[in-house]
Structure 1
C-alpha cells in the first residue's frame, strides 16, 4: 500500500468519526435559521418564503441523514453503545462514565437526536395539524423542540469527544452566530426588519443590474 493510500484512509476515518456529526449540526443549524426566516412575513415575500421553506425542509432531512450515519459509525467503531444511542443518559448507569462526565454529554447527543427525529416526523405530518387553530398551535409547540435539540447538539458536539479541530470550531461558531443573529433579527421591531429586507432586496437588485450590464 502506498503512503498516499494510508493518508487517504486516515482522512476518511477522521471524517467519518468526527466530520459527519459536525455536518449534522451544521445542517440542523441551517434548518433552524431558514425555518425562523420563513416564518417572518416582513423579511420575505411570498415567493421568498416558499423558497426558504424548501431550504428549511432540505437541510432538516440532511441533518437527520448525517445523524443516522453519525450514530451508526460511532456504534460500529465501539465509541459508544446502542443503549447510549437510543436511551438518553443511559450510560449514567455505569460508574466509570459518571466520573468523567462523558455519559451526560453523550446523553445530550442522544436527547438531541431523538428530538430531531420527533421534529422531523411532525414536519412531515404538518398538513394533518393545519386545522383547527388549537391543533395547529400544538403542532408549532412540538416543532419548536428543534431549538432545545439544537442547543443539546451544540454542547454535545463541542465537549462529548476529543478537542475539536479549528475547522470544526469555526463551523460550530458560525452555526451559533447564524442562529443567534436570526433570533435577534426576529425579535427586532418591524421597522428594523423592513430596513434589513429593503437592504437585502437592494443588494440583489444591484447585483442583477450589474450582470445585465455585463
Structure 2
C-alpha cells in the first residue's frame, strides 16, 4: 500500500470509529435506562451494543494499523500503547492512546465479566464514558479533516447525541434518587403495626 492509500484509510477509519463509538455510547445509555429500540426485542439493545462494540474494536485496530504503517509520519507501536511519548504531535496522539487504553480495559474486563463479578466489571465499564470525549478531542486535535464541513457536522451531531443521552441518563438518575427515599418511607410505614 502506498502512503496516500494508508492516509485515506486512516482518515476513513477514524471517522467510522467516531460514529461507531458514539452509537455504542448511546446504546450503553439505552441499555442502562432499559430503553427498547423499536423493532428489536428487549435483549436486542444489549446484543446490538455488544456487536457494535466489537465493530469499534475492529475499526480501531484498522485505524491504528494504518497510522503505524504510514511512513509519512513516524508513529510506532510504543506510541500506540504509551501516551504522550510520540515525537509526532505528542498531546493529540497521546489522547488517542489514552482512549485506546481505556477501551482496552473495558474490552478485557467485558470478556472476563463472569470471573470479575458485576460490581468490578461495572466500575471499569464506566471508563467508556471517559474514552469517548478523549477520543473526540484526539480526532479534533490531530485529524486532517478537522474544519471541513462534513467533519464539523459529523462531530457536532455526535456531540449533540451523546450530550442528549447523558442528559437523559442524569434525569433518570435524579428521578430514581427522588423516588427511592419516598419508596423506603412508604415501605417502612406499611410495615408498622
Fold similarity call, TM over 0.5: yes
Q: Distance in 2 between matches of 1:126 and 1:52?
A: 18
Q: Distance in 2 between matches of 1:189 and 1:85?
A: 37
Q: Distance in 1 between matches of 2:53 and 2:166?
A: 18
User: Is 1:22 equivalent to 2:4 in the alignment?
Assistant: no
1:35 is matched with 28
| Cα displacement (A) at 1:14 | 5.3
Structure 1's 74 and 13: CA in aligned 2 closer, same or farther, altered over 3 A?
A: closer
1:119 to 106, 110, 122: 106
Q: Which range moves more in the overlay, 163-172 or 73-82?
A: 163-172
1:201 is matched with none
User: Is 1:129 equivalent to 2:124 in the alignment?
Assistant: no
Q: CA RMSD in A?
A: 2.5
Q: Distance in 1 between matches of 2:77 and 2:120?
A: 31
| Cα displacement (A) at 1:156 | 0.3
| Cα displacement (A) at 1:63 | 0.8
- Other structure's SS at 1:89 match: coil
Q: Distance in 2 between matches of 1:150 and 1:107?
A: 14
TM-score by length of 1: 0.70
Q: Distance in 1 between matches of 2:105 and 2:172?
A: 32
2:83 is matched with 88
| Cα displacement (A) at 1:147 | 1.1
User: Is 1:75 equivalent to 2:68 in the alignment?
Assistant: yes
User: Is 1:171 equivalent to 2:154 in the alignment?
Assistant: yes
Gaps of 5+ in 1: 1-8, 131-135, 194-214
- Other structure's SS at 2:83 match: coil
Structure 1's 83 and 159: CA in aligned 2 closer, same or farther, altered over 3 A?
A: same
1:151 is matched with 133
| Cα displacement (A) at 1:81 | 2.2
| Cα displacement (A) at 1:52 | 0.9
1:181 is matched with 164
Q: Distance in 2 between matches of 1:84 and 1:13?
A: 18
Gaps of 5+ in 2: 177-193
Q: Which range moves more in the overlay, 168-177 or 23-32?
A: 168-177
8 A Cα contact 2:103 2:128, kept in partner: yes
Runs of 4+ in 1 over 3 A off after TM superposition: 12-15
